[in-house]
Amino acid sequence: MTSGTAFTIACAQVDPVIGDVEGNTELTTAAVREAAAAGASLVVLPECASAGWAFRDYAESLACAQPLDGPVVRAWQAVAAETGAWVCGGINELRDGRVHNSAVLVSPRGVESVYRKVHLWNSEKLVFDRGDTFPVVETPFGRVGMIICYDAWFPESTRSLALQGADLVLAPSDWVPNPHQQPGPSLANLMTMANAHSNQVYVAACSRVGTERGQRFIGDSVVVGHDGWVIAGPAPDVPAILTARIDPIGSRQARREDPFNRPLGDREPTAYVHEAPPTATATPPFDPTRA
């Protein structure tokens, strides 16, 4: 961690208010300012930090969405310019008349990358449109990809980023309690650790706290190292700024040469099955309109 490429990353675990776009913009910019004051060069906010999550229907979701050149991204760019810290935040994104559950990476010069949630969970299918790609972008912090919440349940998400060279995965999330949680790491933390370890990437997962229309969120934000172990967190179930010093670029050589664990170099792609064969019993997608 003495490398010139090491930096401090922060998860700003906040409690956005559904529909209060103006208030959430103030809340998140204040949190970024606080994290930057604590030394962070890159600040991760939760999923749907601009407008909330538990929408009643598509119309309400649409009414709360804003485009990438709208006020929340402008505010994040302004606070980035003011503090020097980059911002990765979940945004309820309006795009071509549709709403995406997106994550945006914003530097002082503007939007560096945008990711639209691929795996929509449960009733999210009713209020968001899904994305269809996992982009990786070159930054001063290393090659960065983003996933959002439920994406972490699908190992293909982080693998898709790692295969494109990602060093660091940012994961804005709105983690909810697991109905069968045992003592020990939350299921969300466990999936995050497995994703980091099996891809040798750093993961900074920022979840939210509070309760929205009956849905409780658990906090539990973590920064996980490329060996899968927790560097910072899990954060308690209250608003919090979690910081960790990480070195995605400086660790490249060590990761490449690690004899113990070679999650990309030891893959054997010709043995893998990626689609259910016609003879397998398929699990149908959940149709929330029939639940």
**Catalytic residue ranges:** 47, 117, 149
Q: Please say which residue, 83 or 172, places its beta carbon nearer to its own copies.
A: 172
Residue placing its CB nearer to its own copies in the complex, 85 or 197: 197
Tell me how far apart the alpha carbons of residues 246 and 45 are, in angstroms, rounded to a whole number. Answer: 18
What residues does 171 pair with on adjacent strands? Answer: 205
Closest approach, Cβ 30 to its own copies, in A, equals 33
Check the CA dihedral 192-194-199-200 and report its sign.
positive
- Whether 178 and 186 have beta carbons less than 8 Å apart is answered as yes
**Given the complex with its own copies, which of 135 and 236 has the nearer CB atom?**
135
221: left (phi over 0), alpha (psi -120 to 50) or beta: beta
Q: How many CB atoms lie within 10 A of CB 146?
A: 29
Bridge partners, residue 169, by sequence = 145, 203
What distance lies between CA 116 and its chain's CA centroid?
Answer: 11
Cα angle for residues 84, 48, 139 (degrees, 5° grid): 35
Closer by beta carbon to its own copies, 28 or else 199: 199
Tell me which residue of 165, 169, 160, 232 sits closest to 196, measured CA to CA: 169
Nearer to its own copies, 106 or 249 (CB): 249
- Partner residues linked to 223 by β-bridges: 204, 232
Instruction: Please state, in angstroms and rounded to a whole number, the distance separating the CA atoms of residues 106 and 115.
Output: 12
Minimum Å distance from CB 121 to its own copies? 7
Kindly tell me which of 40 and 147 has the beta carbon lying closer to its own copies: 147
CA distance 150 to 175: 8
Residue in the structure block whose two tokens are 């010139």: 4
In the block, residue with structure tokens 């060279």 = 165
Closest alpha carbon to 45 in 129, 135, 168, 170: 170
Smallest distance, its own copies to C-beta of residue 237, A: 19
In sign, the C-alpha dihedral spanning 70, 76, 81, 87 is negative
